[in-house]
Chains A and B, each alone.
Chain A
Amino acid sequence: DAKTTQPNSMESNEEEPVHLPCNHSTISGTDYIHWYRQLPSQGPEYVIHGLTSNVNNRMASLAIAEDRKSSTLILHRATLRDAAVYYCILNTGFQKLVFGTGTRLLVSP
């Protein structure tokens, strides 16, 4: 399974944008880039995924580098509810998800 590297933790202030980085230098051409988050005491929640082009949805934006070796999850305006562990995962589609340690996002009022 292709490996991803994320910072252990990041901090943000409420209502500010947050950029969560992920490195995946060994990504293959068929790997989708997935982001999930896990709020305290809950199961993981799907956030967004993409293959080559940048993606936007109601939760976040995903910016993918041109060489696909890195990506950034963008929360446009952080809220206290966005405090969670964010996981960046490579997936070839309809396959198991291999979770790393993720980035713990702390949001301050």
Chain B
Amino acid sequence: SAVISQKPSRDICQRGTSLTIQCQVDSQVTMMFWYRQQPGQSLTLIATANQGSEATYESGFVIDKFPISRPNLTFSTLTVSNMSPEDSSIYLCSVEGLAGGGEQFFGPGTRLTVL
């Protein structure tokens, strides 16, 4: 399994500002995923980020609101832009496993509160 860290672990932000969340993996992986978990809800995929290509966004998520960078095989960032209170959620990154079958390993998450 991969060891994944995220920064920051939590933050409180003002409406209209932006926050960049970092995800670091201890091994090289091709696919990284960003999820959102709204309060009391299950996880929803925001986008899939492959190194060297544009991120692929799920329905309801757009690049202008959630720009993603993937500069190398161990790192990715997700920016939450022009935040509103509705963006208050836990944001999680995950990576594919190496055993085959599509298992994923998740970071600890970033808890974002927007005032």
Residues of chain A whose beta carbon lies under 8 Å from any beta carbon of chain B: 32, 34, 42-46, 49, 51, 87, 91-102
Contact = CB atoms under 8 A, between A and B. Distances in A.
Interface in B58-109: 58, 92, 94, 96-97, 100-109
Counting contact residues on chain B (CB < 8 A from A), the size range is 20 to 34
Q: What 4 pairs across the A-B complex have the smallest Cβ distances?
A: A43-B106, A93-B102, A91-B102, A99-B43
Interface string B26-52: 000001010000000011110010000
Chain A contact residues: helix, strand, loop or mixed: loop
B101 A97 contact: no
B2 to A, nearest CB: 10
A81 B39 CA distance: 22
Contact of B48 (A49, A96, A100, A102): A96
A87 B107 CA distance: 17
Nearest to A87: B42
B58 A44 contact: no
A75 B108 CA distance: 24
